[in-house]
Structure 1
Amino acid sequence: MKLNIAIMTMLAAGLTACSPAGPSGNLSVPQPKKPIELNRYLGHWFELARYENQFERGCEAVTADYTLRTDGMVRVLNTCREGGINGKRTEAEGKAKIVPDSRNAKLKVSFFGPFYADYWILDRAPDYSWSIVGEASGRYLWILTRSPKASEKTRKMLVEKARALGYDIAMLRWTKH
């Protein structure tokens, strides 16, 4: 029986920092360099590409919505379509907290109780139209955009940015929308 994305995301959030999930695509993940204006980062994002991972296996049309909670944390709502863009919609809701002294570029995200995983905004567009997200182990990478499809020029630029950050771009899996 296949676990849905919500359960897998919960498990992954608790295990990311303490257990290898797969090959590292970046053995030396850089620290985020750009500060993040949280209100500009909030909103709806489309996953353009990712490193394949167990909790998103078979997912297409992946999105993430970030909204500010009344307690100052960030509400995270991840959605996916299982098996294809018209597949069953699943979602996982979590929360994120800003890591102090990170200029809002590092967050800790939890989908299950006290277990938190790294979420590092490694690069972003000046207008917040795209971002590149990773974490300390180099096993996870997400390229996010504000629209479901990106031009070939934008895709190439984002791949080059990921490569410049030290990521193995051959490991990228493009998300269908």
Structure 2
Amino acid sequence: MKNVFKSLCVGSVLSLSIFTLSFHTQAETGVPKAVEKIDVNQYAGQWYEIAHLPMFFQRKCVSDTTAQYTVNSDQTIGVLNSCRTETNEMISSKGVAYAQNAGNSKLKVSFLPSGLRWLPFTQGDYWVLRVDPNYKVALVGGPSHKYLWILSRDSKLDQATYQSYLQTAREYGYDVSKLVQTPHQP
């Protein structure tokens, strides 16, 4: 009887340990994590939005969404987002991004006039979650899971690469079923 009790206790402790480890691992996989470092000069330039999570400030955009990044003399990053509306009008918004870590992979972006950019609640998170070694495709989001973009240097992205970046987003806890793919006119 003593051996049966001892076996049950060891089995229970082992089961509890496996459950705890499993729970801990699952909790970690749903947390977005920025890449350690990006080369801002390689990241600069034009990117085409391939897909995004719907958000208020992109409500008028129906196609041809791009982001143009430039490195400013003060080491901030200039941002110019553009898109086409339902009426075929191209609209754009200028902003600036400020590095939040030494690797420049976590940024805060503001599109307000320069006099109001110092207000902390006016800045959004822009984390580079994944970027390929040649800086051709990137996954961008933030810690809140509210924002997510798949960006490419080309207006089209092959299905295998797209699925691979979707998988990374899923692993970080994003609901990719809500992603909207962005059409681009030739």
Q: Same fold (TM over 0.5)?
A: yes
Report which of the two has the higher share of helix.
2
Q: 1:31 to 1:154 in 2, by over 3 A?
A: closer
CA–CA separation in structure 1 for the residues paired with 2:68 and 2:46: 5
- Report the AA paired with residue 71 of structure 2: L
- Matching residue of 1:41: 43
Larger Rg: 2
CA–CA separation in structure 2 for the residues paired with 1:106 and 1:95: 13
CA–CA separation in structure 2 for the residues paired with 1:28 and 1:111: 29
1:1-177 map, 5 Å = 28-59=30-61, 60-83=63-86, 87-101=88-102, 103-112=103-112, 113-114=116-117, 115-177=122-184
Identity %: 38
Q: How many residues align?
A: 148
Task: Report the Cα offset of residue 134 of structure 1.
Answer: 0.6
CA–CA separation in structure 2 for the residues paired with 1:33 and 1:64: 20
Please give the TM-score of this superposition, normalised by the length of structure 2. Answer: 0.75
Cα-Cα RMSD: 1.6
Matched position secondary structure for 1:104:
coil
Matched position secondary structure for 2:91:
strand
1:41 and 1:128 in contact (8 A); partners too: yes
1:82 and 1:90 in contact (8 A); partners too: yes
More displaced, 161-170 or 41-50? Answer: 161-170
Unpaired runs of 5+ residues, structure 1, are 1-26
CA–CA separation in structure 2 for the residues paired with 1:160 and 1:64: 23
Report which of the two has the higher share of strand.
1
Matched position secondary structure for 1:76:
strand
Q: 1:72 to 1:33 in 2, by over 3 A?
A: closer
Moved over 4 A (4+): none
2:126 and 2:140 in contact (8 A); partners too: yes
- Matching residue of 2:3: none
Unpaired runs of 5+ residues, structure 2, are 1-28
